[in-house]
């Protein structure tokens, strides 16, 4: 006997969260519950505004159709579903089958945002969003690297720069500090320009958006050190695991990264990171942008926990 439920949540977030120049005032998504006999599984479907190809209403419609079919005993493929839907459902199925382990990696690269003078790295790895003002951001990154001599840095430009702009950024980084930049994610408008940037500056790069392009295949390249996997934007857990295995087989790092999921999704990403990328620090330091947790608590967080019976959550009729 199979049972499925779907819930929609809307959680307020901290002011000032900007995604591609658009302010985000709340985080909305779906929670999936599956039950078969005594086994249960949970998953989160949360398209990221301005990044996901699908809207929340499209994801909800697709999820409802899949869940109704699953309740009737059908084993429909996840491959044709939107990435966020495929990932959330695959996590619920992985919990249901016991495929997803219980232990998680709750360490994360420390996201640096807001007032840089207040940045104190909890771990030895920090992350800085860049891509607006190359020279100023280069000075900021260099200041942080000089201020914290043991800090390793990950930078993310989201393909915002031309090659000359990216080079201007790099020129502000002292040569002594460059080796402590683990990578810059997609510094330029295209992968080819990012390759040229790495060749010219000696700063290694990582693929992020490129990983989600159609027919992407992991390849070993000069100056490429990692691929960033954001499962909500990438697709099902099996698809993500395949990418991880391809990267590892070529000696590249695979980094699990969040897409502003709630604590439910974040804890599952932590478990995925522990299970499949044990030697790579994930990028999951986004819970501080939230004002609440959802269903499952993140290790060490004091934010209030929202259960299903709450003003922020309502059940969706299948």
Assess whether 129 carries a catalytic annotation: yes
* Nearest of 182, 172, 189 to residue 205 by alpha carbon: 182
SS3 state at 39: strand
**Catalytic-residue membership of 230:** yes
DSSP three-state, residue 11: strand
Residues facing residue 229 across a β-bridge: 256
Task: Point out which residues pair with 253 in neighbouring strands.
Answer: 226
Catalytic residue among 127, 230, 239, 253: 230
Q: DSSP letters of 190-256?
A: SHHHHHHHHHHH---EEESGGGGSTT------TTEEEEEE-HHHH--HHHHHHHHHHHHHTT-EEEE
SS3 string, 163-200, reads HHHHHHHHHCCCCCCHHHEEEEECCECCHHHHHHHHHH
Calculate the alpha carbon distances from 27 to 11, 181, 259, 311 in Å.
Answer: 5, 31, 11, 14
Nearest-angstrom CA–CA distance, 141 and 127: 10
Which pair of tokens denotes residue 274?
């522990």
Q: Which of 37, 38, 35, 15 is nearest to 25 (CA)?
A: 15
Point out the catalytic residue in the list 129, 168, 172, 178. 129
Compute the CA torsion angle 273, 240, 184, 288 (nearest 10 deg).
Answer: -50
What letters, b where the CB count within 10 A reaches 16 and e where it falls short, cover 278-293? eebbbbbbbbebbebb
The catalytic residue positions are: 129, 230
């Amino acid at each position: 006997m199979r049972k499925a439920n779907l819930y929609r949540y809307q959680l307020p977030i901290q002011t000032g969260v900007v995604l591609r120049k658009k302010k985000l005032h709340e985080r909305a998504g779906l929670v999936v519950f599956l039950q078969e006999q005594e086994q249960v599984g949970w998953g989160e479907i949360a398209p990221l505004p301005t990044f996901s190809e699908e809207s929340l209403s499209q994801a909800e419609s697709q999820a409802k159709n899949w869940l109704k079919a699953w309740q009737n005993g059908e084993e429909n493929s996840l491959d044709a579903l939107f990435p966020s839907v495929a990932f959330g459902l695959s996590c619920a199925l992985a919990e249901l089958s016991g495929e997803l382990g219980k232990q998680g990696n709750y360490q994360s690269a420390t996201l640096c945002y807001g007032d840089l003078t207040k940045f104190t790295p909890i771990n030895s790895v920090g992350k800085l969003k860049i891509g607006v003002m190359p020279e100023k951001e280069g000075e900021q990154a260099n200041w942080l690297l000089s201020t914290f001599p043991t800090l390793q840095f990950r930078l993310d430009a989201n393909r915002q720069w031309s090659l000359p702009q990216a080079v201007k950024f790099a020129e502000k980084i002292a040569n002594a500090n460059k080796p402590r930049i683990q990578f810059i994610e997609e510094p330029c408008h295209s992968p080819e320009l990012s390759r040229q940037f790495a060749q010219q500056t000696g700063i290694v790069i990582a693929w992020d958006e490129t990983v989600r392009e159609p027919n992407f295949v992991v390849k070993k390249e000069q100056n490429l050190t990692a691929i960033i996997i954001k499962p909500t934007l990438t697709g099902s857990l099996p698809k993500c695991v395949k990418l991880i295995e391809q990267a590892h087989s070529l000696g590249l790092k695979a980094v699990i990264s969040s897409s502003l999921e709630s604590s439910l999704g974040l804890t599952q990403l932590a478990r995925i990171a522990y299970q499949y990328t044990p030697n790579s620090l994930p990028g999951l330091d986004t819970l501080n942008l939230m004002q609440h947790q959802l269903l499952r608590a993140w290790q060490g967080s004091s934010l209030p926990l929202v259960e299903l019976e709450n003003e922020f959550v309502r059940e969706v009729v299948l």
